[in-house]
Structure 1
C-alpha cells in the first residue's frame, strides 16, 4: 500500500481519545488531526461509546478499572477497535490491558511516530473480525435451515410414510410452487401449516 493510500485510509477516520486532558493527549490529538482524522477526546472513561466512532484510543489507568470494565461489558460485536495506551507493566496493568481486548497497544511516553501504524493495524484487525463474524452468521443461518429441513422431512416421513427422497422432493416442489426457499416450506410443515398432499 502506497503512502497516498495509507493517508486515504486514515482521512476522515473518527477517533475517540479516552485520555486525561494533559500535554500528552494534546500531542496525540494534534497529530491525529494533522493526518486527517476526526477527533474527539473524553475523560473519565464513559460507560458506553458514543455513536459514530471508528477507533478508540484508551488510556489504561488502574483507577479507571471499574469504568473500563463497564465500557467493555457494553461493547457489541460491531464495536470499533481499541488501541490501549500503557504507561508501565505490572500484573494489575497487564490484566486490565487484556480485559480491554485491544487490537493494538501503544507505550508511553506517547509520540506521533508509530501512531499511524497502530491505527492501520487496529482497522485491519477490525475488518477481519467483522468479516469473520459475518461468515459465522451465514454458517449459523445455513445450519439452522438444514436442521429445519431435516426436521420437516422427518415429519413428512412419519405422517405420510414418505421415503427420505420423497419428503425432500415434496419440500422442494412446494418451495418452487410458492417461489420461496425450502427453509420457509420446512417451517410451514413444522408449524403444521403446509397443505396435505399425496406423495409424488
Structure 2
C-alpha cells in the first residue's frame, strides 16, 4: 500500500481516512540531558508517523501535552488520539480526560513505562490501548485496528446498558402511575394501564411521559 492511501479498516465513516491527533509528552532535549534517550524517543516518533502514513491515516495535528490541549482537541474533533509518552504521563492523562469528558474517543498510548500502576491509571483515564515498547511502523496499523474495534465494542455495550437502564426507569414510572390510578380511581391494574395508554395515544406522548406527568400532578395535589 502506498503511503497516504486510504485503508478500509482505517476509515470510520464514508470511506475517509481516520483523523489522528498525536499528543507528545516526551521531554525535550533541554529538559532531559540523556541524548541517547532523546534519540530513542525521536526514532519511536518517526516509526509511529511512518506507520500511520503507510496505513493511510490522516495526521491532522501533533500537539504538546499542555493546558491548551483540551481546547485544541475540542476544536479539531479527531477520530482517535495517540499519546507518545516516554515515562510517567499523569499530566497528559489529566488533560486527555478533560478533553474527552463529553465526547469519548479511542485513545492509544505508546510508552516505555511498563509499571502496572501507570497502566491501570491510563486505562482508568480512558485509554483504549496501552502499548509498551517495541514500536515498529508495521505494528501501528494492527494496533490501531484492534483499539478501534475494542472502542466501538465498548461504546456499543455502554449504549445497550444505558438503554436498559432507561427502559427500567420508564417501567418504574409506569408502575407507579398505575398504582396512583388504581388507588385514586379504583381501577384494576389492566384498566389503569389501558387508561395510561389511551392518554399517551391521545396526547401523542410516550407512556413514560404520561406517567411522569401524572406523578407530578399527584405530588402537587398531595
Contact kept? 1:45, 1:68, Cα under 8 Å: no
Inter-partner Cα distance in structure 2 for 1:114 and 1:187: 53
Inter-partner Cα distance in structure 1 for 2:66 and 2:81: 11
State the Cα distance separating 1:137 from its structure 2 match.
Answer: 2.0
Q: Which has the higher contact order (CA 8 A, sep 6+)?
A: 2
How far does the alpha carbon of each residue in 1:99-135 deviate from its partner, in whole angstroms, 9 at most, with x for none? 4443223232421121111110111011111111221
| Alignment partner of 1:36 is 2:36 | no
Inter-partner Cα distance in structure 2 for 1:144 and 1:63: 42
Q: Which residue of 1 aligns with 2:135?
A: 110
Contact kept? 2:51, 2:141, Cα under 8 Å: no
Inter-partner Cα distance in structure 1 for 2:64 and 2:8: 29
> Structure 2 residue aligned with 1:132, among 157, 161, 164?
157
Q: Which residue of 1 aligns with 2:216?
A: 191
| Alignment partner of 1:158 is 2:178 | no
Inter-partner Cα distance in structure 2 for 1:32 and 1:81: 15
Q: Which residue of 1 aligns with 2:18?
A: 13
| Alignment partner of 1:25 is 2:45 | yes
> Matched residue of 2:165: which SS?
helix
Inter-partner Cα distance in structure 1 for 2:66 and 2:117: 18
Q: Which residue of 1 aligns with 2:38?
A: none
Where do 5+ consecutive residues of structure 1 fail to align? 1-5, 194-200
Q: CA RMSD in A?
A: 2.6
Contact kept? 2:23, 2:65, Cα under 8 Å: yes
> Matched residue of 2:46: which SS?
helix
Contact kept? 1:103, 1:121, Cα under 8 Å: no
Inter-partner Cα distance in structure 2 for 1:121 and 1:45: 28
State the Cα distance separating 1:45 from its structure 2 match.
Answer: 5.2
Q: Which residue of 2 aligns with 1:66?
A: 91
Inter-partner Cα distance in structure 2 for 1:107 and 1:45: 23
How far does the alpha carbon of each residue in 1:161-198 deviate from its partner, in whole angstroms, 9 at most, with x for none? 222222112112222333332222212211229xxxxx
Tell me the matched-pair count.
188
State the Cα distance separating 1:91 from its structure 2 match.
Answer: 4.8
> Matched residue of 2:7: which SS?
helix
TM-score (normalised: structure 2): 0.72
Where do 5+ consecutive residues of structure 2 fail to align? 1-5, 12-16, 29-41
Distance 1:124 1:166, change over 3 A: same
